[in-house]
Structure 1
């Protein structure tokens, strides 16, 4: 499999400690690696007490401009009292910044924030999260991103498809079938977006699944990890919180939107984009895995990826998604039934 370099080969614990020390923080040597496939994230205890969370960014994924734009968005949210974990200001070489550079690696540091996964079976929890997302989008609509990814078309899926094709990643016996169905899906994704004229686009969390929301009993939910912050339709931050059978997903959606619309109006036409966004994420995810296959963490965590069975299953799933998108398109002026 031809993939891009992992980029973390020289990122040792000693280098991480030295980077924090150079930024004016003084770790006492205790490091705890936290769960993250994309970046290297660790909790570091400080000599003066307390702890911080340091994120070392995967080389080559984002530009400095994209990372700093994410940081500014996080701070804008924090200033508006939207509960997010924003990066700390660091001092490196006499300059104040939220993005540190040290021996070829880029990093940021955030306060440590505790919490647990939210109980998404509880409608009141979903309403609270809905209100929180509405507040995030209220800030997000003030101005657009200039450098971040946009989920307003099939662009991310098309880029992912083209990368997989150029790098000959697929099992040869399934490559033609996958690319044929992917091409049809990309056409249907673009059609779904084009069918909604005058649709709003806001700055988003971008990867709002339950693992990126922490809950505390006293303060409720707060967002973590804006690494995938993007421009796009508000529904992108809603659909990944839904799970279970269609009836369960409908109840969850009703609770989320009940909370959301108590703060901000929701364009219900955007529900027609859910299957398009789900399909786009599937294609994007395949390329995401392939691009990182030289990182030793990925073959260990995803041993099934890249096998003929994997690509055969993806062909079946993309056909199902194409059917779902065509069904939504046929409804024309009605809302999705989720059945």
Structure 2
């Protein structure tokens, strides 16, 4: 993979790409907080600015990107507040300019949800229930699955082989082996849970709270996964807090979709897999100059020591009783 995949993506290139679709830019451009892809707010002459998203080369195929777009259009058709890509007169949503693929979005505003507010938790559950009602109507064909192999095994192997300091390698290998065994046991306890199309990355930064309603953005990580993949990130704080939160979330969720309680066995397993995958994601992108610049704390002895500590805490969490629906 190109070590500098966005090297040729200059401001002028961004403006020219947007104008190639018939828009007249006023020359204003602002980079937004995105590292996997590149996202910009582009000023449009005498109109509301647009958001231009340039996809990282070689990450997703055209078919995978278009599956993501189609999922969002299905959600919009059901009157869900999802920021879907704009289409041109021919119905296209994925465009090319020079060596880059990009899409355009309307600019939307809002604030992050308050995850310690029971009403916000309930509303988040209701909205995800509606999203999953659509998500379970069919399956992705081209997009991958959230699973132990890609998120856990492959991540641990890559970190162990390429990044973990020699002084921590034995401890890391032993701990990740134990974690993967516990994660596998958690999936087996959950049983044959249903895989559906999910948002895949439901952290607070991908939710805009406006007019007492959550609005969802950035379906770039949409995959096939158990429903709990889109719910567990709403659970914060100590176990007692999470017990109350899951009750609110599932109560809202069940108004539109049926939550399978067996999936509660996967909360800490999926949390652990995300931590492993996140570290490996940064490591895999380390040749991209934007990553050392923006993640300067990564790949230091201190970082890896703290990462091991967090994983040990997850090993303990995986052995605790599962959350219950009261």
Normalising TM by the smaller chain, what interval?
over 0.9
In the other structure, the counterpart of 2:323 is 336
In the other structure, the counterpart of 2:82 is 84
Unmatched runs of 5 consecutive residues or more in structure 1: 329-334
- TM (normalized to structure 2)? 0.93
In the other structure, the counterpart of 1:60 is 58
Any conservation in 2 of the 1:271–1:336 contact (CA below 8 Å)?
A: yes
Among 25, 28, 36, the alignment partner of 2:26 is 28
Any conservation in 2 of the 1:126–1:256 contact (CA below 8 Å)?
A: yes
In the other structure, the counterpart of 1:16 is 14
Among 292, 302, 308, the alignment partner of 1:309 is 302
Deviation at residue 233 of structure 1 after TM alignment: 0.8
In the other structure, the counterpart of 2:215 is 222
1:170-209 Cα distance to aligned partner (Å, 9 max, x none) = 1121122212211222232222222322311111110001
* Secondary structure at the counterpart of residue 183 of structure 1: helix
- TM (normalized to structure 1)? 0.90
Cα distance in 1 for partners of 2:320, 2:37 equals 38
* Secondary structure at the counterpart of residue 185 of structure 1: helix
Between stretches 229-238 and 43-52, larger displacement belongs to 43-52
Any conservation in 1 of the 2:69–2:93 contact (CA below 8 Å)?
A: yes
In the other structure, the counterpart of 2:132 is 137
Among 165, 169, 182, the alignment partner of 1:171 is 165
Any conservation in 2 of the 1:118–1:213 contact (CA below 8 Å)?
A: yes
Any conservation in 2 of the 1:6–1:292 contact (CA below 8 Å)?
A: no
Aligned length: 325
In the other structure, the counterpart of 1:331 is none
Cα distance in 1 for partners of 2:129, 2:324 equals 23
Aligned-residue RMSD, C-alpha:
2.0
- Does 2:201 match 1:207? yes
In the other structure, the counterpart of 2:141 is 146
Pair 1:90–1:177, CA change in 2 (3 A): farther
1:226-274 Cα distance to aligned partner (Å, 9 max, x none) = 1111111111111111212222222222211121112221111111101
Deviation at residue 147 of structure 1 after TM alignment: 2.0
Any conservation in 1 of the 2:264–2:324 contact (CA below 8 Å)?
A: no
In the other structure, the counterpart of 2:315 is 322
Between stretches 319-328 and 137-146, larger displacement belongs to 319-328
Between stretches 178-187 and 201-210, larger displacement belongs to 178-187
* Secondary structure at the counterpart of residue 170 of structure 1: coil
Among 98, 102, 116, the alignment partner of 1:107 is 102
- Does 2:36 match 1:38? yes
Any conservation in 2 of the 1:131–1:261 contact (CA below 8 Å)?
A: yes
Deviation at residue 322 of structure 1 after TM alignment: 2.2
Unmatched runs of 5 consecutive residues or more in structure 2: none
